[in-house]
């Protein structure tokens, strides 16, 4: 099956800000500089011992209200969450909010969903962290309920975790049949399912350890990413060419010394500089190199949707803008 050569799209994912005005400025720049979308994450832990051991950056803002404000401030930017944790709120609340945001923004909402993975975050608020099969089962029921709700048909859901009846899904979203659903994950089970049901598949590390570190980074290397693409293909069958493959470029560094930079990162993780340079979750080098590498990765993996991270201090929105300008629409 041939790889899809979809046009490139780029998103900025925001974790922190030092003031409401700087956050509004970031959103405005994201739109003005030609990014396709702006994403929040869905984590409620800020700094402290519960999060420190996970290696995950603190999440400052609540996702849904921040998404609503970003949509209200912009006119062309697509906005969403990369990705909502299925266990953090009742699915009817999450889905109703998704329909509302798409309706009020006239079709600029992207809906991302995952099964949850940071055990320490669950533990910090006394939320049960079930084994993956149970979390996955609940997650799949939410995906099916999302599509049913967006159809506007009478709700008749009789699942293990969701039992809905006696009402219609409203409001009707602007995007039909539903706002595109992004399913994120790194395991065979969730990526095969994503191939069957998602509009956008977000490649992630296999985060079964509940932490970010060398093990997770290893699960996202080139060979492992090729396996993940196969899992998606196996699930998708003939619809694979309809799916957009997305990835987080978690380590993005514009530099004229890429080998030395990659070597230092690799040394800390027990990897070679070559491993880091070819790592699908890393973009390290000049604008020319990164643009060429994006084309190569689209050819190899089918990845056309790339998220870069803004932590409130790295000015990534402007640093990466030359790549966005050159590659968008190609």
The full set of domain ranges for the chain reads 9-327
Q: How confident is the model at residue 3 (pLDDT cuts 50, 70, 90)?
A: low
DSSP 208: T
Distance CA 84, CA 59 (A): 13
Residues facing 4 on adjacent strands: none
What confidence score (pLDDT) does residue 120 get?
Answer: 86
Over the range 132-152, which residues count as b (16 or more CB within 10 Å of their CB) and which as e? beebbebbbbbbebbebbbbb
What digits encode the pLDDT tens for the residues 49-75? 777 777 777 778 999 999 999 999 999
Which of helix, strand or coil describes residue 153?
A: coil
What confidence score (pLDDT) does residue 207 get?
Answer: 57
Distance CA 193, CA 17 (A): 35
pLDDT, the chain, mean: 91
For the cut 90, the answer to whether the pLDDT of residue 237 exceeds it is yes
What confidence score (pLDDT) does residue 24 get?
Answer: 95
> How much of the chain, in percent, has pLDDT values that exceed 70?
94
Confirm or reject CATH 1.20.210.10 for domain 9-327, answering yes or no: no
Contact 63, 134 (CB under 8 A): no
Neighbours of 306 (CB within 10 A): 26
Residue with tokens 């049960």: 128
Distance CA 245, CA 195 (A): 10
DSSP 125: T
Please report, for residues 79, 180, 197, the alpha-carbon distance to residue 92 in angstroms, rounded to integers and kept in the order given: 20, 18, 19
């Amino acid at each position: 099956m041939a790889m899809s050569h979809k046009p490139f799209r780029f998103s900025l994912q925001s974790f922190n800000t030092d003031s409401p005005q700087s956050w509004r400025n970031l959103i405005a720049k994201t739109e003005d500089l030609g990014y396709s979308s702006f994403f929040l994450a869905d984590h409620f832990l800020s700094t402290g011992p519960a999060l420190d051991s996970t290696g995950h950056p603190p999440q400052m803002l609540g996702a849904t209200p921040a998404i609503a404000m970003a949509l209200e401030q912009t006119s062309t930017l697509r906005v969403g969450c990369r990705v909502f944790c299925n266990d953090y709120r009742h699915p009817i609340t999450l889905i109703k909010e998704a329909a509302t945001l798409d309706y009020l923004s006239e079709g600029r909402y992207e809906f991302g969903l995952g099964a949850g993975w940071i055990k320490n975050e669950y533990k910090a608020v006394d939320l049960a962290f079930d084994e993956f099969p149970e979390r996955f089962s609940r997650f799949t029921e939410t995906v099916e309920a999302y599509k049913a709700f967006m159809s506007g048909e009478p709700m008749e859901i009789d699942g293990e975790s969701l039992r809905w009846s006696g009402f219609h899904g409203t409001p009707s979203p602007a995007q039909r049949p539903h706002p595109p659903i992004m399913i994120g994950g790194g395991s065979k089970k969730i990526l095969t399912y994503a191939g069957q049901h998602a509009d956008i598949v977000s490649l992630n590390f296999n985060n079964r350890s509940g932490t970010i570190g060398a093990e997770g980074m290893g699960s996202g290397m080139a060979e492992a990413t090729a396996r993940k693409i196969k899992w998606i293909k196996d699930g998708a069958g003939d619809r694979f060419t309809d799916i957009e493959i997305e990835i987080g470029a978690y380590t993005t560094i514009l530099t004229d010394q890429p080998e030395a930079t990659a070597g230092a990162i690799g040394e800390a993780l027990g990897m070679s500089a070559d491993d880091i340079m070819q790592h699908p979750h890393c973009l390290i080098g000049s604008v020319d190199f990164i643009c060429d590498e994006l084309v190569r990765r689209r050819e190899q993996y089918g990845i056309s949707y790339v998220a870069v991270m803004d932590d409130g201090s790295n000015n990534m929105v402007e640093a990466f803008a030359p790549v966005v300008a050159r590659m968008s629409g190609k």
